[in-house]
């Protein structure tokens, strides 16, 4: 084996051993990134760029069977992966990139999205890479998942002259996991976050608020007289009311807000970076939206209203928790019901911890 390149005989022997392998195998030169060898599985991996509709996986649970789940990644999956990769890098869980190495996507036709976070640089520099999962960009907005590893190949003088990269296509497996996760994360009736998911996200919001010192508002919303609607019109109409209520609120909240169903006709909304004045104004806006909408269901047209309890996280109180925040909002919701429904009530604790005059806010 020469010090500056792989001997043709070595590549020929490698091809004999790897051509029939089900794993994808590629050898790239170091530090050029030139592709010196790709087996049949790798060629097939890169050539299979079927265009499919991924909309069913973007915002809701896919109804298709696992074997018909799209082979292309959704934007949400890509974003989630890149965020996780960046977090891993910042946490020191990945080896740092070699200095002075620049990877050009044109050097081997297709490139890893992860190159932006050093994986591609590591491969071209000849680094040893343990088993990692990565999103692979096939071009033309087509992506796949791969479980890959890389091992350096050395020349006679002991220097790294190439990198042997082996990976398996795990796209279908990732989509199966995604479908199962979607099923756990979303309420099947209303298609908003499930109780389990919104509680998890709400805990993160509270933790972030305490670290950043930014205020956070909690809204507990309940459909007024929902039991009477079920009793009078039946559960089919009740389901439409829940779905319409959730869909209408989803259209009227901010992208930063966290909204989900916590059970029955009760919903939770967490509004990060929001003070009490903004939170109460926001709650009143939502109340008015619900009050003015009309619902048509099973030959029945009806109007509904909602009662809303509002609480504010006391960032100056280290002991203040999500549970405290929700309890306070729930107590305010109960008061709104007691005062006649279809109104917004604010917790006394929230008023006392803010600089806002309470008279105009506590109904």
In terms of phi and psi (left: phi > 0; alpha: psi -120 to 50; beta: otherwise), the region of 259 is beta
Q: How far, in Å, are 281, 306, 342 from residue 245 at the CA level?
A: 19, 9, 14
For the sheet with 216-223, list strands across it.
258-263, 266-272, 216-223, 306-312, 344-346
Which one, of 127, 124, 117, 120, lies nearest residue 93 by Cα?
A: 117
**Structure tokens that stand for 162 in this block:** 């190439």
237 and 304 Cβ atoms separated by less than 8 Å: no
Q: How far, in Å, are 70, 76, 179, 246, 247 from residue 56 at the CA level?
A: 9, 12, 10, 19, 17
72-101 CB burial, b ≥16 within 10 A, e <16: bbbeebeeebeeebeeebeeeebeebeeeb
129 and 112 Cβ atoms separated by less than 8 Å: no
**Structure tokens that stand for 36 in this block:** 């010196």
Dihedral, CA atoms, 35, 4, 94, 185, nearest 10 degrees? 10
Tell me whether residue 271 is exposed, middle or buried, using C-beta atoms within 10 angstroms of its C-beta: 0 to 12, 13 to 18, 19 or more.
buried
What are the E-state strand segments in 87-175?
111-112, 129-139, 142-154, 160-169
Report the alpha-carbon distance of residue 150 to residue 53 in Å, rounded.
Answer: 32
Report the alpha-carbon distance of residue 272 to residue 12 in Å, rounded.
Answer: 60
What 3-state class would DSSP assign to 100? coil
Q: Which residues are catalytic?
A: 265
């Amino acid at each position: 084996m020469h010090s500056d390149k792989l001997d043709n005989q070595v590549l020929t022997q490698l091809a004999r051993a790897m051509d029939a392998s089900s794993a994808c195998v590629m050898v790239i030169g170091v530090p050029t990134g030139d592709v010196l060898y790709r087996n049949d599985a790798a060629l097939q991996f890169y050539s299979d760029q079927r265009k499919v509709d991924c909309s069913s996986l973007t915002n809701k649970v896919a109804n298709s069977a696992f074997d018909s789940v799209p082979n292309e990644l959704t934007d949400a999956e890509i974003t989630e992966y890149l965020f996780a990769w960046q977090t891993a890098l910042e946490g020191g869980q990945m080896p740092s990139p070699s200095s002075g190495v620049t990877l050009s996507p044109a050097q081997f036709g297709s490139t890893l999205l992860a190159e932006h976070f050093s994986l591609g640089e590591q491969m071209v520099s000849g680094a040893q890479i343990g088993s990692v999962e990565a999103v692979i960009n096939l071009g033309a907005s087509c992506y796949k998942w791969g479980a890959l590893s890389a091992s350096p190949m050395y020349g006679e003088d002991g220097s790294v002259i190439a990198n042997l990269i082996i990976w398996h296509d795990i796209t279908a497996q990732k989509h199966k996991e995604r479908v199962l996760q979607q099923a756990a994360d979303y309420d099947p009736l209303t298609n908003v976050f499930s109780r389990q998911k919104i509680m998890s996200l709400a805990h993160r919001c509270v933790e972030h608020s305490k670290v950043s010192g930014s205020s956070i508002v909690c809204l507990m919303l309940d459909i007024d007289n929902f039991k009477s609607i079920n009793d009078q019109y039946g559960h089919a109409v009740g389901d439409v009311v829940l779905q319409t209520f959730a869909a209408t609120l989803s259209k009227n909240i901010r992208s930063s807000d966290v909204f989900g169903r916590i059970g029955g006709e009760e919903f939770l909304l967490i509004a990060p970076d929001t003070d009490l004045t903004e939170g109460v104004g926001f709650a009143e806006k939502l109340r008015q939206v619900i009050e003015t909408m009309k619902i048509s269901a099973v030959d029945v047209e009806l109007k509904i209203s909602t009662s809303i309890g509002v609480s504010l996280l006391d960032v100056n109180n280290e002991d203040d928790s999500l549970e405290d925040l929700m309890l306070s909002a729930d107590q305010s919701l109960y008061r709104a019901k007691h005062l006649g429904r279809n109104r917004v009530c604010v917790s006394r604790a929230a008023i006392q911890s803010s600089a806002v005059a309470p008279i105009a806010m506590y109904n």
